[in-house]
Each structure stands twice: as C-alpha cells, then as structure tokens.
Structure 1
Amino acid sequence: MPSTVVHAGFALLLAAGLLANAYDRKALAVVLVIIVIPEIDTLLGPIMPGAHRTVGHNVVFPVAIALLLLYDTRLRDRSALRDRFDDWGVRVAWVGLFAHVFAHLFLDWAHLEGINMFWPIHDEFFRLEGELYLSTTEGLTQTFVEIAADPESGETTVDAGGTGTTESVHVSNPVEPDAATDTPSDEPVDRRFPIAQRGWRLYLVLVGVFVVVARRFQADLPAEE
C-alpha cells in the first residue's frame, strides 16, 4: 500500500500548487498533519476488526467537514475560522481537506483492498480497479464499474469494486501485520513500516520534496510599472 511518506509527497505537490498566497512552512506543516491523521485508525485494529482503511479512510467525514467549512466561511455572517486565522486559515483548511481526499483517500482506494468508502453509513470496502481504453473493434470500454443483467431473472447487478466488509477485510499494517500460518509462535513478528515499495512511489516522494524546495528559491516576478 502507499506509505504515509508517499501520501505526504503527493500532498506537497498539491499544496505547492494550491496554497497560493497562504504558502509558508506553517501551512505545509498543517497539510502534512492532516495527511498523517487517517493512519491513526491502525491503532484501533486490536479492538475493532477492519478498523484500518475504515475509520480514517472514508468520504463521509470529509464531506461533513466540507459542509461545515462551507457553512462557516460562505453562509454565516461572520466566520469563526476567518476571525481566528484570517483568510490564510480558510485557504489552508480547504487545501488540507482537498489533499486529504486526493493525496490519501483516493490513492488508497486504488490499492490492495481499497477503502471502506461510506463507513459508518454503509460497511463495504471498495477498490478502484479496472481499465479504460478506446478500441478499434470494441469502441470506448471501461471495466471500473461493471453492470450485468441476469438472463433468467432479469435482475441487474452493479459491481463497483466491492471487496468485503470490516468482518472479512484486513489490510496489513505495522500494528496488525499479516502473520503466516506456518510461522512458529516464538518467531518475532515482522512489522514493516513502508516508505516506498515501488519505484513510482519513491519518484512521487522525491518530486514532491523537489517542488517544495524549488519553490522556496523562486523569486517573485517584478511588479509592472
């Protein structure tokens, strides 16, 4: 699965492009903290089956936070967030939420067993897996969402990449690694803290760091006279 380091590298790229006038070290730190927070659900594994990729990896809470931010910053006569942190805080909050969804949740959605997308409203893991292509014989084809009709009953089923529920899905993590059935009980448990298990993931981390460093050394364009 993508490690927290990979999520952070992707988040740095998004932050560098979206923070605009709010870009500073404090803003980057806030975004990185937001990226790390979802991984806390690994600590709940021993007391809640399937907690990892569930409690901190769903779209229900981000949507609720987005609605709260929208209400506070756009609909209220006076924004509590803006009063406390000015426009800087508003931009950082929105960018942090955006980075959380696209640099963390949706990246995990495409790996291993996916994420428990609509928990706690609906308990089911979904994985983004398939292909989209244009064929000279089949036309435009996609397999990410497959719709099939039973020829006998006529019932239509939709497969959007469901992989199971919290009772049947376990995503290996340092707190609860997958234990081999033939490993003696007295052998030490191999707890791996992933950094970059694929070349493209290491590349993403390095590019994110490079962009942040490069932006620091960029000079502002001279003002037009």
Structure 2
Amino acid sequence: MPSTIVHAGFALLLAAGLLKGAFDRRALAVLLVIVVIPEADTIAGLWLDGAHRALLHNLTIPIVGGLLLYWDTSYRERSWLRDRWGWWGVRVAWVGLFVHVFAHVLLDYAHLEGINAFYPIVDRFVRLEGELALSTTEGIVQTFVDVDLDVGVASEDGTDGIAADVGVTGTTADTHVDNPVEPSTAVEDDADGPVERLFPVAESGWQLYLVLSGLFVLVARRFQDRRERDDR
C-alpha cells in the first residue's frame, strides 16, 4: 500500500497549490495530521475484521464533513469556524478535506484491494483498476467500469441479465489489506516462523518520485515566501 510518507508527499504538493495566503508551518502541521489519521484504522483491525481501508478509508466521512463545513461557513448566521480561526481556519479546513480525499483515500482506492467506499452504509470494497485509451480502430476504450448487458437473456430471478463491474473486491468479512499492525502472515493460522512486519516507504519508482517532489516543492515554496518578504 502507499506508505504514510507517500501520502504526506502528495499532501505537500496539494498544499503548495491550494494554501494561497495560508501556507505556514501551522497549516502544514494540521494537514499532515489529517493525512495520517486514516491509518489509525489499522489498529482497529485488531478487534474489527476488515477495519483497515474501511473504518477511516471511505467517502462517507468526507461527504458528511463537507456538508457540515459548508453549512457552518455558508448558511449559519455566525460561523463557529470563522469566529474561532478566521479566514485562515476556513481555508485550511477546506484544503484539509480535499487533502484527506485526494492525497489519502483516493490514492488507496487505486492500490491493492482498494477502499470500502461508503462504509458503514454499504459494506463493499472497490478498487480503481483499468485503462482509458483512444484507439484508431475502436475509438475511446475504457475498462474501469465494465457493463455487460445480456438483453433478453433471463437471469435466475427472472429479469434480464445486467451486470456492472466497478472493481468490487469484497467486504470486511473476507477482505484483508496487509499492514504493519496486522500483516497477512499474522492472520494465517498455519503461518510458521517469525512474522514480518513491513513498514513501507516507497514500493515503486513513482511513489519515491512523489515523495521527493513533495519535499522539493515544500523547500522551494519556503524560499519563495522568504524572498517575497525580503523584497517588501
């Protein structure tokens, strides 16, 4: 799975582009905490089967959080967030929500067994897997969503056979995503020898590239901010 360091590297890239006027150490600290929090569901996996990539790796939480944030900052006569933290707090809150979704949840959506997208409302892991291409003979070709329409062919329940594959991989009852707290070898009854707990940093070239890019942008942004202050 993408390591926490990879998630943080991507978060730094997003922060550099979105935190205009609020890019400071305090904001970065808040965003890094937000991007790390979802990994806490690995600990919950010790008591709840399939908790990792489900309990805190879903879209239900950011959807509810986004609605509450929009209600507080747009509809209330006095916004609690704006009164307490000002415009800085509102901007960091929205960027934090964006970072949580794109730098963590959806990044895991495209890796290994994916995420339990709408847990606990719907217990179903889904994974983003496929390709999108423009073919000179077949036109636009995509395999991310595979729809099979067997019109006129009766299925077992008497209806026409219609099937859509959106990358479903399983449920919390039968899906386990390897992690340092609960490695795959530890959950196998017949595992012999010491259990290897792997703490990944970068599992591929693109992940290392993302981490280094995030660090580079962070340092470059700090130098730019310092030069702008000196020019004033």
- TM-score, length-scaled by structure 1: 0.95
Percent identical across equivalent pairs? 62
Question: What is the alpha-carbon distance in structure 2 between the residues aligned to residue 212 and residue 80 of structure 1?
Answer: 30
Cα shift at 1:183: 4.0
Where do residues 1-225 of structure 1 align in structure 2 (5 Å cutoff)? 1-150=1-150, 152-153=153-154, 154-179=160-185, 183-184=191-192, 187-218=193-224, 219-220=227-228
CA drift at 1:220: 2.4
CA deviations 1:60-112 (Å, max 9, x no partner) are 01000000000001111110001111100000000011000000011000000
Q: Which runs of 5+ in 1 are unaligned?
A: none
Give distance in 2, aligned partners of 1:20 and 1:220. 14
Figure out how many residues of one structure are paired with residues of the other and give that number: 221
The one-letter amino acid paired with 1:174 is P
CA distance in 2 between partners of 1:147 and 1:138 (Å) = 17
Mapped to 2, the partners of 1:2 and 1:46 lie a distance apart of 21
Q: CA deviation at 1:156?
A: 1.1
- Post-superposition CA distance 1:114-148 (Å, at most 9, x none): 00001011000000000111111111011100110
SS of 2:49's equivalent in the other structure is coil
Secondary structure in structure 2 of the residue aligned to 1:7:
helix
| Offset, 1:150 | 2.8
> Which position in structure 1 is the counterpart of 2:157?
none
Corresponding letter in the other structure for 1:165: T
Structure 2 alignment gaps of length 5 or more:
155-159
Q: TM-score, normalised by structure 2?
A: 0.92
Q: Which consecutive aligned stretches of 4+ in structure 1 deviate over 6 angstroms post-superposition?
A: none
Q: Distance in 2 between matches of 1:63 and 1:70?
A: 11
Q: CA–CA distance in 2 between the matches of 1:150 and 1:43?
A: 44
CA RMSD of aligned residues (A): 1.4
**1:155 deviation in Å?**
2.0
Secondary structure, counterpart of 1:15 in structure 2: helix
| Worse-matched range after superposition: 142-151 or 115-124 | 142-151
